[in-house]
């Protein structure tokens, strides 16, 4: 299955997964900017499974809304994430300063998680622990 949406609370992220052959998926206002003030969760009809992942306490877990270069509003919508223009989650294992997505996006050892990535990626991140997996069908 592949990642089709997310919700983050601190260093814990719930990833919503859809079938590998799913070509398009969406939710309310996915084309509106900034996503953090407009977009809803992916529609339930597309969700096959959820995986809750906890990342190490010492890692920074960021999403595009943490890019402080745009006066606190991201320049992204969830359609952009679905189209692979920006990762939905950025994990910084060895942060050196504040939690700014824009500063870390190019960092070599940052872990970038995109919509469309295979769920196996989540099982292979050394800085992560799978808390739960739930089938939704």
Residue-wise pLDDT tens digits, 73-89: 889 999 999 999 999 99
Domain ranges of the chain: 2-135
Q: Determine the Cα–Cα distance for residues 42 and 3; give it in Å rounded to an integer.
A: 11
The confidence score (pLDDT) of residue 28 equals 98
DSSP string computed for 96-123: -SS--HHHHTT-TTPEEE-TT-BTHHHH
Helix (H) or strand (E) segment spanning residue 42: none
**Given this model, what pLDDT does residue 137 score?**
65
**Residue 96: what pLDDT?**
74
pLDDT value, residue 69: 72
Low-confidence ranges of the chain (pLDDT < 50): none
Strand 60-62's sheet: what is its strand order? 60-62, 89-92, 111-113
């Amino acid at each position: 299955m592949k990642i089709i949406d997310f919700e983050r609370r601190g260093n814990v992220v719930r990833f919503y997964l859809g079938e590998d052959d799913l070509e398009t998926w969406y939710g309310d206002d996915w084309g509106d900017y900034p996503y953090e003030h407009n977009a809803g969760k992916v529609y339930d009809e597309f969700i096959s499974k959820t995986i809750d992942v906890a990342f190490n306490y010492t890692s920074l877990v960021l999403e595009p809304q943490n890019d402080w270069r745009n006066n606190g509003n991201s320049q992204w919508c969830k359609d952009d994430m679905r189209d692979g223009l920006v990762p939905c989650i950025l994990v910084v294992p060895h942060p050196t300063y504040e939690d700014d997505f824009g500063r870390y996006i190019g960092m070599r050892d940052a872990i970038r998680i995109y919509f469309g990535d295979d769920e196996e990626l989540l099982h292979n991140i050394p800085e992560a622990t799978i808390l739960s997996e739930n089938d939704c069908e």
